[in-house]
Amino acid sequence: MTDVNTLGEFGLIERLTQPFQLRQRSSLKGVGDDAAVIDNGAHCTLVSTDMLVEGIHFDLAYTPLKHLGYKAIVVNLSDIYAMNAHPKQVLVSIAISSKYSVEALEELYAGIKAACDRYNVDLVGGDTTSSPRGMTISVTAIGEGKKERITYRNGAQPGDLICITGDLGAAYLGLQILEREKRIWQENPDVQPDLEGQAYLIGRQLKPEARRDMIEAFEKNNLIPTAMIDISDGLASEIFHLCKQSGTGALIEESGVPIHPEAQLMAIKFRLDPITCALSGGEDYELLFTIRPKDADKVRFLPDIYIAGEMLPPDAGIKLSTKGGKLHDLKAQGWRHF
Amino acid sequence: MTDVNTLGEFGLIERLTQPFQLRQRSSLKGVGDDAAVIDNGAHCTLVSTDMLVEGIHFDLAYTPLKHLGYKAIVVNLSDIYAMNAHPKQVLVSIAISSKYSVEALEELYAGIKAACDRYNVDLVGGDTTSSPRGMTISVTAIGEGKKERITYRNGAQPGDLICITGDLGAAYLGLQILEREKRIWQENPDVQPDLEGQAYLIGRQLKPEARRDMIEAFEKNNLIPTAMIDISDGLASEIFHLCKQSGTGALIEESGVPIHPEAQLMAIKFRLDPITCALSGGEDYELLFTIRPKDADKVRFLPDIYIAGEMLPPDAGIKLSTKGGKLHDLKAQGWRHF
């Protein structure tokens, strides 16, 4: 018998889904991108789904249910934006133990509604059931996109520029703060948590946003990225996905990776290297995408987009060029959840 | 604080989803039918999702993983057929504890693949994650249908005939057999389970099928039901849904409710009333639908469809006319899962 830990998340998915083939003409893209793509003639329907499990993906000791509901929606919308498409509907299934009151669930749904309002998506279905223990939330997001604008992971070519939106590592550091305060509180319940001045980092962890603004900016500027993925598992893991599926190598410049000043400071407080937090932290829900060099001027003047490297031929490998001028092999993170 | 048990499944869903409105023009139908309906111009996309939780919806003591995978798909396809549409794609998310081996998951996925092959649907996505305990499976089915053929729960009128496919109660009795043998085995692990001659009832529980053949027969015979729902929670609960949403009453004839001879016999062995098993048993995955009286001849000559009553004006209530000639008020089942 083979332990699931030995394969890692992506190895396990590959092994389990390898026997499946696509037969429906409308199935343009199956497993292996941010969302499935279904051809509807006039446009494409995109579908993405995520499961959040209490004790694995969230800890109710420091996660308000309203934030949890908001985040559960946003992380799915992020997958649709990562295809350069627009989310339109969501379905939400929850399994809950009887320890949750109706009022607690209303808090969760208030967060779901806030996200639906903010991103203009409709809740159109789901399932509600009980569970022997804890809470599991499964969200399916449905989007719409023009076939010629949909951006997959596999379209990058050597020479394409690597772009990153926003900043990376902050959500991970926000989580470290919350975990630290939880430990302190567990040791001494009289101590009030010290979250003063940490609103940015904690907000990035508890209430992330998806980059709808970027997809709209691409449209306005007549830009179609050659490949795109959302940064949910850390930059290193995502650049590996783009390179693997595009058949390229990549060079990332440490100096081009955007890190918020508060994340820089907090990383040092935790004795962590800020670039490691950006590369392996996860839960940023920013976009990583590649563009043709001729499109460089289109992104150079857009706010909140950073050019952080270049795609290379496959034999060049996947490298990080440090601020000190050294070249390191990048390593993809394993599956953090097993 | 309000205990979730006090509202029941449908009351809880109503309370949680009531604040949500549909804003997208493409959202034709949201919460409250077997599937959501999204308008795509040329045709509609249907989306349905279900969550199965270990210890609530399935017991691995007597459920082979391959059957579980098969059933998880079929119950979702059944929701798409219940809209008079065709499933085309599925997404499967699983959360599993580390007690499951890769080989166990391959068994589960072999069942998923068998169902995808049988019903000609593509696996196009999902999520794989860990869970602190047990297994949770969330399946989303995506279908396609012509707008003018899609059948909702709310289209029935007084005078419409009530039709049922297949037979009811068998899956519930199959479950009773499996639960009995599990108890006996727990008391004395040397006793071999006695499942001899029970293939039909146990098969209905462990490996249900969805009624694709009926949707195809409707098309061939140019029939569009006025309302339809799949029978997953027992006939009584489903007829309440149709009546509530259509604004009608109903009369069900006990003599018209199809019950398999083996289910009749087994019900008596368990000292249960066969009609109670049919009304409240659940997991039949048959179709309950209504037709205009003028279409009666179209269904009369179709195999495996039974006319079991008539929709009435709303003030007539929802009644069962027994074989003994008595009229009873029908009661809808509560939420069995809390």
- For residue B141, which residues of chain A lie inside 8 Å, CB to CB? none
Return d(Cα A45, Cα A146) in angstroms, integer: 9
Residue B335 pLDDT exceeds 70: no
Residue A336 pLDDT exceeds 70: no
- For residue A17, which residues of chain B lie inside 8 Å, CB to CB? 109, 123
pLDDT at A333: 57
Count of A-B CB contacts under 8 Å: 276
With beta carbons less than 8 A apart as the criterion, state whether B337 and B56 touch: yes
Residue A254 pLDDT exceeds 70: yes
- For residue B19, which residues of chain A lie inside 8 Å, CB to CB? 109-110, 113
The SS3 assignment for B228 reads: strand
Mean pLDDT of chain B: 94
Residue B279 pLDDT exceeds 50: yes
- For residue A26, which residues of chain B lie inside 8 Å, CB to CB? 88-89, 144
| CATH number for the domain whose boundaries are B4-145 | 3.30.1330.10
Return d(Cα A292, Cα A299) in angstroms, integer: 11
With beta carbons less than 8 A apart as the criterion, state whether B106 and A20 touch: no
pLDDT at A9: 83
Q: Does B114 touch chain A (CB under 8 A)?
A: no
pLDDT at B333: 57
Residue B176 Cα, gap to closest chain A Cα (Å): 21
Q: Which of A76, A77, A92, A87 is nearest to A126 (CA)?
A: A92
Segment B111-128 mean pLDDT: 97
- The beta-carbon neighbor of A47 closest among B7, B110, B125 is B125
If you measure CA to CA, which chain A residue comes closest to B9? A128
Q: How confident is the model at residue A287 (pLDDT cuts 50, 70, 90)?
A: very high
Residue B285 pLDDT exceeds 50: yes
| CATH number for the domain whose boundaries are B161-329 | 3.90.650.10
Q: Does A272 touch chain B (CB under 8 A)?
A: no
Residue A245 Cα, gap to closest chain B Cα (Å): 16
CA distances from B242 to A285, B247, B277, B293 (A): 42, 8, 20, 17
pLDDT at A10: 85
Residue A130 pLDDT exceeds 50: yes
pLDDT at A301: 86
Residue B4 has, within 13 A of its CA and on its CB side, a CA count of 26
- Angle at Cα B189 formed by Cα B183 and Cα B194, nearest 5°? 60
If you measure CA to CA, which chain A residue comes closest to B10? A128
In terms of DSSP bridges, do strands A135-145 and A86-96 run parallel, antiparallel, or are they unpaired? Answer: antiparallel
pLDDT at B194: 76
How much of chain B exceeds pLDDT 70, in percent?
98
Segment B325-336 mean pLDDT: 73
CB distance B38–A337 less than 8 Å?
A: no
Q: Give the model confidence (pLDDT) of A24-57 as tens digits.
A: 999 999 999 999 999 988 799 999 999 999 999 9
Residue B338 pLDDT exceeds 60: no
pLDDT at A193: 77
If you measure CA to CA, which chain B residue comes closest to A112? B20
Burial of A182 (0-12, 13-18, 19+ CB in 10 A): middle
pLDDT at B19: 93
Q: What residue type is A156 in one-letter code?
A: A
pTM for the model stands at 0.95
Burial of A211 (0-12, 13-18, 19+ CB in 10 A): buried
Residue A263 Cα, gap to closest chain B Cα (Å): 28
Domain boundaries, given as residue ranges, for chain B: 4-145, 161-329
With beta carbons less than 8 A apart as the criterion, state whether B246 and B153 touch: yes
The SS3 assignment for A27 reads: strand
How much of chain A exceeds pLDDT 70, in percent?
98
Mean pLDDT of chain A: 94
The string of DSSP letters for B150-214 reads: ---TT---TTPEEEEES-SSHHHHHHHHHHHHHHHHHH-TTSPP--TT-HHHHHHHHS----HHH
- For residue B35, which residues of chain A lie inside 8 Å, CB to CB? 125
Q: Give the model confidence (pLDDT) of A165-217 as tens digits.
A: 999 999 999 999 999 999 999 998 888 777 778 999 999 999 999 999 999 99
Lowest-confidence segment of A3-12, A141-150, B147-156 by average pLDDT: A3-12
Q: How confident is the model at residue B337 (pLDDT cuts 50, 70, 90)?
A: very low
If you measure CA to CA, which chain A residue comes closest to B4? A102
Residue B129 Cα, gap to closest chain A Cα (Å): 7
CB distance A51–B5 less than 8 Å?
A: no
pLDDT at A338: 36
With beta carbons less than 8 A apart as the criterion, state whether A21 and B113 touch: no
B307 backbone dihedrals φ, ψ, rounded to 5°: -85, 120
Instruction: Name residues 57-96 of chain A within 8 A of B (Cβ).
Output: 57, 88-89, 91, 93-96
Tokens of A209: 């946003």
Q: Give the model confidence (pLDDT) of A75-101 as tens digits.
A: 999 999 999 999 999 999 999 998 899
How many other β-carbons are positioned within 10 Å of the β-carbon of residue B265?
13
Interface-testing mutation among B60, B106, B122, with chain A (most A C-beta atoms within 10 A):
B122
Segment B194-202 mean pLDDT: 88
Residue B259 Cα, gap to closest chain A Cα (Å): 28
pLDDT at A334: 38
More reliable by pLDDT, B195 or B219: B219
**For chain A, how far is it from start to end, CA to CA, in angstroms?**
17
Residue B331 pLDDT exceeds 90: no
Q: How confident is the model at residue B247 (pLDDT cuts 50, 70, 90)?
A: very high
Return d(Cα A247, Cα A75) in angstroms, integer: 27
pLDDT at B336: 41
Return d(Cα A8, Cα B138) in angstroms, integer: 20
pLDDT at A335: 36
Return d(Cα A212, Cα B179) in angstroms, integer: 51
With beta carbons less than 8 A apart as the criterion, state whether A73 and A67 touch: no
Q: Give the model confidence (pLDDT) of B149-172 as tens digits.
A: 999 999 999 999 999 999 999 999
- The beta-carbon neighbor of A140 closest among B56, B91, B129 is B91
- For residue A105, which residues of chain B lie inside 8 Å, CB to CB? 4, 12, 16
- For residue A93, which residues of chain B lie inside 8 Å, CB to CB? 49-51, 138
Return d(Cα B230, Cα B285) in angstroms, integer: 6
pLDDT at A16: 93
With beta carbons less than 8 A apart as the criterion, state whether A251 and A319 touch: yes
Strand boundaries in A40-85, DSSP class E: 44-53
CB distance B338–A98 less than 8 Å?
A: yes
pLDDT at B334: 38
Q: Does B18 touch chain A (CB under 8 A)?
A: no
Tokens of B137: 């499976």
CB distance A95–B42 less than 8 Å?
A: no
Residue A291 pLDDT exceeds 90: yes
pLDDT at A230: 97
